[in-house]
């Protein structure tokens, strides 16, 4: 309606309340929206889940004309348009998945100004037909989502994004807003340069969530460890427990319920009614623990989530940050707790190896996993490392993460690494065999298992040379070598293999500093997996 198109701040607030049903802006949303509504260019850096969408959706409604939104994720366009339609906003998308009839309809709506937002894939702008379509309508705003895709050094580079600099040349009067959650200084200036956004005002949110205490512990008996966390530190409090698979969601929820915790499962395999009911209970009742796959959480805005626990390793730092970020929205002390073990690395590497998609895609997944592993194995402050990943500096250390509260010792693990790598080397080169971490550790510890006898591995020169470390410590060595790319795991059985970098350690050209597990945890780890 034309009465809200006055372009002032109260129109933005009125739209936030009437259309989206929220009371107040978050962070610097209001500043961004005012700036863009007034016709300015903007570059917005905000963590995932921070509320970037409203930064262009509200200007789209307040400004005259149609907002054209460039989005690289075809799969998400439908979701975004559905979400907007559900709150009564007129929106459409054009991409290669549309049938010709629907396409013509959306094009007509755009030209007639009957929609307020039009989502486009970046490659669409390479087509003359699309450009002339855009010329026939009235554009009020360009929004460039996931703007870091223009960075040639990033993981998500999309060549079509380079072409987006022409938006400004062709439609110089239309304001542009570029948004991203990937925030290194280098990426930021690259976005500004390549998108021709030199005049844009930069809005950079802090990624720090000071009230969240980050903790990453070796995985032993994960459900028992989880239960101890809930009972000792968060009795009767609301939280989310993330598991990788539906089966483990079900089992964990049952385990917690049997232990007297008010827990509910949530995953995509449950029918829609159960999912909705469980989500409602989590939101409305006090102290419910939601055990879920990552399908849970998008758009769930519960302020008093006191902990987020991960029983399996997230696939990326972005995912970890987003999921843990659901804790403590109210600013009160909260816990982000992750239990992680060797098996997680084996499992995730296998998932990457067998994933569909080309080599570049698998490399991208592997790079994301490596960054996550580096966070798990760091001896630095977790928050420093986390913010560093997003290109932000923290002054000093945080005092509110496990490495700050209980600093891990580092130790010279070069000899241990050499022993482990030469075990892998001997099995591979002398016997043409590959084995998983458990068996290699048995060899180092000189154990007489059936498998050792069967393969006569007690005759290897490395048999029994690692008795100075415990099994848990050896598992720590394996994990850290994997995290540093000095060792690889392969195949369905998670067998260990050397990498190019292994040679530097074996050739004594490289020292390896390792993180010593807190003694208490390492001891307990001997019984289970670490
Ligand atoms: P991003 O794109 O930055 O990852 P979204 O735009 O998807 O984040 O927003 C994340 C969640 O926060 C959404 O559920 C959104 O509805 C909600 N949200 C955004 N802004 C506000 C606000 N001002 N008040 C309450 N909830 C908000
Ligand atoms: Zn810290």
Determine the atom of ligand 1 nearest the C-alpha atom of 298: 14
Atom 23 (ligand 1) nearest CA: 25
Distance (angstroms) between ligand 2 centre and the Cα of 335 equals: 13
Nearest to 465 by CA among 416, 427, 523, 527: 416
Return d(Cα 266, Cα 259) in angstroms, integer: 19
Within the chain, which residues score under 70 in pLDDT? 1-9, 153-155, 183, 299, 517-530
Return d(Cα 495, Cα 439) in angstroms, integer: 10
Distance (angstroms) between ligand 1 centre and the Cα of 508 equals: 51
Contact (Cβ atoms closer than 8 angstroms) between residue 249 and residue 291? yes
Q: Please report which ligand is nearest the Cα atom of 56.
A: 1
Query: Is the CB–ligand 1 distance for residue 25 below 6 Å?
Result: yes
Query: Is the CB–ligand 1 distance for residue 200 below 6 Å?
Result: no
- Choose one of 51, 303, 321 to mutate for the ligand 1 pocket test, by most ligand atoms within 8 angstroms of C-beta: 51
Q: What is the per-residue pLDDT for 489?
A: 85
23-39: pLDDT as tens digits:
999 989 999 999 999 99
Nearest to 120 by CA among 136, 105, 101, 107: 107
Distance (angstroms) between ligand 2 centre and the Cα of 401 equals: 4
Query: Is the CB–ligand 1 distance for residue 299 below 6 Å?
Result: yes
Return d(Cα 381, Cα 375) in angstroms, integer: 9
397-410: pLDDT as tens digits:
999 999 999 998 88
Q: What is the per-residue pLDDT for 349?
A: 87
Determine the atom of ligand 1 nearest the C-alpha atom of 29: 23
What is the full DSSP assignment across 181-207? S---HHHHHHHHHHTT-TTPEEEE---
Which residues, in sequence order, are bridge partners of residue 67?
Answer: 117, 141
Q: What is the per-residue pLDDT for 318?
A: 86
Angle of CA points 478, 528, 241, to nearest 5° = 95
Query: Is the CB–ligand 1 distance for residue 28 below 6 Å?
Result: no
Q: What is the per-residue pLDDT for 156?
A: 76
Q: Please report which ligand is nearest the Cα atom of 52.
A: 1
- Choose one of 48, 53, 330 to mutate for the ligand 1 pocket test, by most ligand atoms within 8 angstroms of C-beta: 53
Q: At what angle do helices 437-445 and 414-431 cross, to 10 degrees?
A: 110
Q: What is the per-residue pLDDT for 528?
A: 39
Q: What is the per-residue pLDDT for 151?
A: 84
Q: Is 406 helix (H, G, I), strand (E, B) or coil?
A: coil
Distance (angstroms) between ligand 1 centre and the Cα of 236 equals: 27
Query: Is the CB–ligand 1 distance for residue 48 below 6 Å?
Result: yes
Distance (angstroms) between ligand 1 centre and the Cα of 50 equals: 6
Beta-carbon contacts of 106 under 8 Å, excluding residues fewer than 6 positions away, are 92, 93, 94, 98, 115, 118
Angle of CA points 460, 461, 465, to nearest 5° = 110
């Amino acid at each position: 309606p034309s009465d809200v198109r006055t372009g002032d701040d109260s129109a933005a607030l009125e739209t936030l309340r009437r259309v989206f049903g929220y009371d107040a802006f978050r962070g610097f949303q209001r500043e961004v929206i005012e700036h863009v509504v007034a016709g300015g260019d903007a570059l917005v850096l905000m963590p995932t889940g921070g509320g970037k969408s409203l930064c262009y959706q509200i200007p789209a409604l307040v400004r005259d004309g149609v907002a054209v939104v460039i989005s690289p994720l075809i799969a998400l366009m439908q979701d975004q348009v559905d979400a907007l339609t559900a709150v009564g906003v007129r929106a459409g998308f054009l991409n290669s998945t549309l049938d010709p009839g629907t396409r013509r309809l959306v094009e007509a709506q755009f030209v007639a100004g009957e929609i307020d937002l039009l989502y486009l894939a970046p490659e669409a702008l390479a087509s003359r037909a699309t450009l002339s379509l855009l010329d026939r309508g009235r554009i009020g705003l360009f929004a460039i989502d996931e703007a870091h895709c223009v960075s040639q050094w990033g993981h998500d580079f999309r060549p079509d994004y380079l072409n987006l600099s022409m938006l400004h040349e062709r439609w110089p009067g239309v304001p542009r807003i570029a948004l991203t959650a990937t925030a290194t200084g280098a990426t930021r200036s690259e976005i500004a340069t390549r998108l021709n956004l030199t005049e844009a005002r930069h809005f950079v949110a802090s990624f720090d969530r000071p009230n969240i205490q980050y903790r990453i512990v070796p995985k032993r008996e994960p459900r028992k460890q989880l239960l101890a966390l809930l009972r000792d530190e968060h009795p009767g409090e609301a939280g989310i427990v993330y598991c990788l698979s539906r089966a483990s969601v079900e089992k964990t929820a049952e385990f917690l319920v049997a232990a007297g915790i008010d827990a509910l499962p949530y995953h995509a395999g449950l029918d829609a009614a159960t999912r909705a009911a469980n989500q409602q209970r989590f939101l409305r009742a006090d102290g419910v623990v939601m055990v879920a796959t990552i399908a849970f959480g998008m758009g769930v805005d519960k302020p008093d989530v006191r902990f987020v626990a991960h029983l399996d390793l997230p696939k990326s730092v972005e995912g970890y940050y987003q999921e843990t970020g659901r804790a403590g929205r109210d600013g009160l002390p909260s816990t982000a707790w992750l239990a992680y073990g060797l098996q997680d690395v084996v499992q995730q590497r296998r998932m990457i190896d067998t994933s569909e998609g080309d080599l570049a895609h698998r490399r991208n997944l592997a790079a994301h996993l490596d960054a996550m592993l580096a966070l798990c194995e760091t001896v630095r402050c977790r928050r420093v490392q986390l913010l560093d990943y997003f290109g932000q500096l923290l002054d000093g250390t945080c005092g509110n993460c496990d490495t700050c509260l209980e600093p891990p010792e580092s130790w010279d693990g070069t000899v241990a690494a050499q022993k482990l790598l030469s075990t892998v080397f001997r099995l591979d080169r002398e016997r043409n065999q590959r084995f998983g971490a458990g068996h290699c550790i048995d060899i180092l510890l000189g154990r007489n298992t059936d498998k050792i006898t069967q393969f006569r591995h007690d005759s290897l020169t490395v048999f029994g040379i690692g008795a100075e470390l415990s099994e848990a410590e050896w598992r720590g060595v394996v994990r850290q070598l994997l995290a540093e790319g000095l060792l690889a795991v392969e195949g369905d059985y998670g067998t260990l293999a050397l990498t190019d970098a292994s040679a530097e350690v074996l050739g004594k050209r490289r020292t390896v500093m390792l993180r010593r597990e807190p003694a208490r945890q390492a001891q307990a780890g001997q019984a289970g997996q670490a």
